[in-house]
Structure 1
Amino acid sequence: MPLAPLSLSLTVFSRKIAKNHPDLFQRLGEHSRTAFVLDPTDLPIVLCLDPNDGMPKVKLTRGRGTGAARISGPLAALIGLVHGAFDGDALFFSRDLVIEGDTGAALALRNAIDDAELDLSHEAAALSGPFARPVQRLIALAERQTGLCLTRPEDVAIW
């Protein structure tokens, strides 16, 4: 399967998120141009994220990808981190999450995502215009079928 169309779609999606949450990329500070590799260890692809000063670019690739920081772990853990469903420190110390390279950049990304309180399903539904309701139902079904945390839990406590 060619990865270019999905890469383009994820770039559009990430730019929509950047528009809705400008603080997310501003909070990266000196790392706003740092390339990140997000490596779901249970998939044969990696996601290369270039924040590009708030105009993010996403590229899916097979193999290791290149970036200053690599964050590896199961897809469920990576998505759960975005939604605040999992504690990044607990995942790191249990070795379910591995950080390589520029750990300062990885920490900046984590903090920026935590502060943004993202809900990827809400962002996807908002992009869908008149199809928002069916998209939300499809995401809920996918969440039930896969066990992935595709929405932000209602009762996430912010400490």
Structure 2
Amino acid sequence: MQTSPNIVAVPAPVRLLMRPLPLLPLRLMLERLVSGLIRRRPGLFLRLDHHAEKVFLIDPTDLPFVFRLKPDPEHPSVEPLRRERAGAWDGRIAGPLGALMGMIHGTFDGDALFFSRDIIIEGDTEAVLALRNALDDAEIDLMEEAAIAFGPFRPAIEPFLRNVTPVAARITGLPLSRSDENEVFT
């Protein structure tokens, strides 16, 4: 897959280093993040209507794993899986991690990514579009959500993320937060 010059892909050596890492810590973090997100934004997946019953595969093509999203408003889940264990899905969104994060954070336009072939949409495109619209409207900032997921430790974590996120974004080129200046928690 060809990527635009401003979309960063995770380098191959980093992918190789990530391959043997266990997914359980990531799974636990995602469970906490999603449950908190739904508690604060209960209407997020209700917007999907009948598409909330669908299974979406979020496939960062430059990572050794995928995410299976089940946006059921009552019991939503995001599960990291090895690519070969992804199972059945209704809609798939595939592209470099930078493009997918940029879409969530509003840095990149989803339509432009699709037409430039930086991302690929497969399966139920109506469901994928409904998901994208719901996420766009929610204006999610993953770093802020990560800080909130730390619960009582948030006051200690938030200043660290506030200082590290812009630096990490500049070094990696990844859109790590939702803002024009990569400043989190504005």
- Tell me the distance in 1 between the aligned counterparts of 2:163 and 2:74: 30
Unpaired stretches in structure 1, ≥5 consecutive residues: none
Q: Which moved more, 1:116-125 or 1:66-75?
A: 116-125
Establish whether residue 135 from structure 1 lines up as the match of residue 126 from structure 2: no
Question: How far did residue 34 of structure 1 move?
Answer: 1.2
**RMSD over equivalenced CA pairs, Å:** 1.6
| One-letter identity of the residue aligned with 2:126 | G
- Tell me the distance in 1 between the aligned counterparts of 2:29 and 2:141: 17
- Tell me the distance in 2 between the aligned counterparts of 1:148 and 1:51: 25
> Which residue of structure 2 aligns with residue 17 of structure 1?
37
Is the radius of gyration larger for structure 1 or structure 2?
Answer: 2
Unpaired stretches in structure 2, ≥5 consecutive residues: 1-20, 182-186
- Tell me the distance in 2 between the aligned counterparts of 1:105 and 1:68: 8
Question: How far did residue 15 of structure 1 move?
Answer: 1.5
- Tell me the distance in 2 between the aligned counterparts of 1:139 and 1:56: 27
Establish whether residue 95 from structure 1 lines up as the match of residue 124 from structure 2: no
Establish whether residue 8 from structure 1 lines up as the match of residue 28 from structure 2: yes
What TM-score, normalized to structure 2?
0.78
Q: Report if aligned partners of 2:32, 2:149 keep a CA contact under 8 Å in 1.
A: no
> Which residue of structure 2 aligns with residue 115 of structure 1?
137
**3-state SS of 2:64 partner:** coil
- Tell me the distance in 2 between the aligned counterparts of 1:74 and 1:87: 14
What TM-score, normalized to structure 1?
0.90
Q: Which moved more, 1:45-54 or 1:95-104?
A: 45-54
